[in-house]
Amino acid sequence: MCAARRISRDRPELLVQRLGPFGRMPRRSVLLVRPEQIHPVVRIAHRQAGLIIPERIILDHELVLVISGRGYWEIDGERRNFAPHDLLFIPPFTPHYFQADPNSAVEHLAVHFDFAEALPMEGPGLDHRRPYRLRFTHGLGIPRQQRLFSGHRIERALTAILNAHATDDVLSAANSSVQLSGVLLSLLVKPDQPRRDEQPGLRNQARVEAVVAHMTAQLAKPISQVALQRVAGLSSSRLQAVFREVTGYPPLDYLRRLRVEAARRLLADQSLSVKEVAAQTGFRDTSHFSKVFRRIDGLSPAHYREALLAGRQEK
């Protein structure tokens, strides 16, 4: 059996995967986990282009967030398609592989982790682990695949984990663990939960997705709170509550952030003036654009462009 090495910041010798082909897999021991035992240890966090991985097993758990592109993956003999904003959950000692669409530019974010420091006991090292699986109490489990959307709080949390893991700050490991705890607890569900159209939390997420799609499609035009209420089919106060619950922001604040995100991309194009960028992203004038951009990014659009171009020149 061949092995492939992945790099961890704290333990460069850490081995987290084995490549196939595999014969008959040994029987896996079962470890019972209560939700309050979840204090995760982040082992690896990276963002990479491409997603072509031959058959393998991993020795810990992994969350994979598809940022862009399409393709398919197979796990437990079941083939599933993946697309942008899909979150994939891979348990240990479960053969799987990934294949990106050759005509699609795939980028993904991956986090390898254990649910707690002693789950399972590490012993002499991760690469000496014997096959195991975790089973959660109360009939809970984590879906193998689910669709998020741009700006979803789980996407933001995974990005925060990536950023924290990349630093040498004394608190970075603790910050990563806290962020991942929230993600994992929000992913735990019962397999017998009601269908999507019967489950209030998922209905609310569908409403927010519809509002975000409307915002994105109409980004350059004036968008009122009333228009967003119509799309969601909710009152003003209820839309505020639901939107904050799903994204962490009120609707109009989220809209401003979407516009600033789009403006960042356009500012990379030197043929566009700051005034033109403001018009194309729905700001009423350059003064308003500069004020909002500075509040969110900490510097003016012009200074952002200067820094961006200076960074390109250095490269």
**pLDDT confidence band for 310 (50 / 70 / 90):** confident
Q: Which of 13-17, 58-62, 265-269 has the lowest mean pLDDT?
A: 13-17
Average of per-residue pLDDT values in the chain: 85
pLDDT of residue 191: 61
**pLDDT confidence band for 286 (50 / 70 / 90):** very high
Q: Which of 236, 230, 30, 207 is nearest to 120 (CA)?
A: 30
pLDDT of residue 313: 55
**pLDDT confidence band for 193 (50 / 70 / 90):** low
Percent of residues, the chain, with pLDDT higher than 70: 89
> Rounded to whole angstroms, what are the CA distances from 307 to 38, 127, 267, 272, 314?
41, 44, 11, 16, 11
The ranges assigned to domains in the chain are 3-187, 196-314
**pLDDT confidence band for 312 (50 / 70 / 90):** low
Do 196-314 and 3-187 have the same topology in CATH?
A: no
* Residue 227 confidence (pLDDT) above 70: yes
Q: Which of 71-85, 117-131, 206-220 has the lowest mean pLDDT?
A: 117-131
- Pair type for strands 132-136 and 29-33: parallel
* Residue 7 confidence (pLDDT) above 60: no
Q: Which of 129, 165, 140 is nearest to 89 (CA)?
A: 140
* Residue 140 confidence (pLDDT) above 80: yes
Topology of domain 196-314, CATH? Arc Repressor Mutant, subunit A (1.10.10)
Q: Which of 246, 255, 244 is nearest to 292 (CA)?
A: 255
Q: Which residue has the tokens 């929230």?
A: 182
Q: Which of 120, 119, 86 is nearest to 100 (CA)?
A: 86
Number of neighbours of residue 209 by Cβ within 10 angstroms:
18
> Can you tell me the mean pLDDT for 54-79?
93
Topology of domain 3-187, CATH? Jelly Rolls (2.60.120)
pLDDT of residue 195: 43
pLDDT per residue over 238-248, tens digit each? 999 888 877 77
Between residues 5 and 143, which one has the greater pLDDT?
Answer: 143
> Can you tell me the mean pLDDT for 304-310?
83
Between residues 256 and 196, which one has the greater pLDDT?
Answer: 256
* Residue 209 confidence (pLDDT) above 90: no
> Can you tell me the mean pLDDT for 115-139?
82
Question: What's this model's pTM, rounded to 2 decimal places?
Answer: 0.65
Q: Which of 41, 48, 40 is nearest to 64 (CA)?
A: 48
Q: Which of 9-18, 121-130, 205-214 has the lowest mean pLDDT?
A: 9-18
> Can you tell me the mean pLDDT for 157-164?
91
> How far apart are alpha carbons 307 and 30 in whole angstroms?
52
